[in-house]
Structure 1
Amino acid sequence: MTNEQAVFLADHYVSLMSGEVKTTLKVLGAVTEDGRSYRPDEKSRTAWELATHVAQSDVWFLNGVINGRFGSDGDAAESQRAGFGSIADVVRFYEREVPACLERVRAMSPEDLLRTVDFFGVVQWPAVKFLGLANNHGIHHRGQLTAYLRGLGSKVPAMYGGSADEPFTR
């Protein structure tokens, strides 16, 4: 991959992910405080666990790209999660941190985008390639959370088109 290709991919993924921020904020904000403990099955995460995972993991992935390494500090993640007192706190965190991380990615040099990053011994890719994984991971878990919304008594926001609760309008 050339420097130009790495910059193109970074710009592409930052643009895609920036476009997803608004949708993710709508889904996170649709989780009700009363519905935080909702889970569709005993094997499933609660709505709260899933909402905090969506918010924290998007930041974690982006920081891994920026820093050139992925770490696993469960205690730090748990401490951060404990600092969230409400869904509104999770929304504010996501709204503040993800756009800031995306701007830091956009400012990365081609050399930093191309440096090889190890992902827990499973794959070693150029840092820029992890942006695609980050985008897909976030959309995947946001989709899971969206499937919880009706069950916890909330409305499903429009995303890529209208929903029964938020029809597409022109």
Structure 2
Amino acid sequence: MIVQSLLGEFMHEAENTRKILNAIPDSALEYRPQPHLWSTGQLASHIAEVYNWYDPTFNLDEFDMGTYKYDKGDISKTANIVARFEENLDNARKVLEGAKDENMMTTWRMTMGGQDIFPAMPRAVVVRGFLFNHLYHHRGELVMHLRAGGHRVPGLYGPTYEESQQQQ
């Protein structure tokens, strides 16, 4: 029951992620609202990368970020980022479909160099916080990057302000 409910949300939210990634014009990829923030392309690449974390989250009891190899790929074109997202999404979906409810309360840890990054917690909590909510947070940042750069964004949970004004 736990895995089925997670899978439903996963599939629904994957469509929202796809919408926002596809809304990025290539001309916006280098934009950063402030010098210390990731560029739009880096942020979009990170969003696509989060789906790579499903396998270690579901299939390991400890995820050592110190040994994880992040490969953002070619972020010079939105199509490249979307292709990476689609590949990672498909792999993550397969991992989630293969998950078992009885493993969802198993203690899970994220470490780096032998030190806990997050306190140990049940895998179900990690999936909601580290995978799902983390992704939603970064999608929100991406919306703000696009809006700050003067670009339109799609409605994710209903129409955007601009879309609602067109309907009147």
**Is the TM-score greater than 0.5?**
yes
- Measure, in 2, the Cα distance between the counterparts of 1:18 and 1:99: 10
The within-5 A match list for 1:73-88 is: 76-77=69-70, 80-88=71-79
1:159 aligns with 2:150: no
- Measure, in 2, the Cα distance between the counterparts of 1:74 and 1:158: 37
1:53 aligns with 2:46: yes
Report Cα offsets for 1:6-62 as digits up to 9, x if no partner. xx22221221121011111111111121111111112211101110111102322x1
Quick check: which one's strand share is greater? 2
Contact in 2 for aligned 1:27/1:156 (Cα 8 Å): yes
1:10 aligns with 2:7: no
TM (norm. structure 1) is 0.81
Counterpart of 1:66 in structure 2 is: 58
Q: Aligned pair in 2 of structure 1 residues 22, 166: CA closer, same or farther (>3 Å)?
A: farther
1:24 aligns with 2:37: no
Report Cα offsets for 1:61-80 as digits up to 9, x if no partner. x1232222323257721xx2
Deviates more, 1:148-157 or 1:46-55: 148-157
Give the aligned residue type for 1:126: P
Give the aligned residue type for 2:125: K
Deviates more, 1:30-39 or 1:104-113: 104-113
Aligned identity (percent) is 23
1:125 aligns with 2:121: yes
Contact in 2 for aligned 1:25/1:91 (Cα 8 Å): yes
Question: How many residues in Structure 1 have an aligned counterpart in Structure 2?
Answer: 159
- Measure, in 2, the Cα distance between the counterparts of 1:83 and 1:37: 13
SS at match of 2:80: helix
Give the aligned residue type for 1:65: T
- Structure 1 gap segments, 5+ residues each: 1-7
- Structure 2 gap segments, 5+ residues each: none
Contact in 2 for aligned 1:13/1:135 (Cα 8 Å): no
Report Cα offsets for 1:122-143 as digits up to 9, x if no partner. 3112222211011111000000
- Measure, in 1, the Cα distance between the counterparts of 2:42 and 2:67: 14
Per-residue deviation, 1:83: 4.1
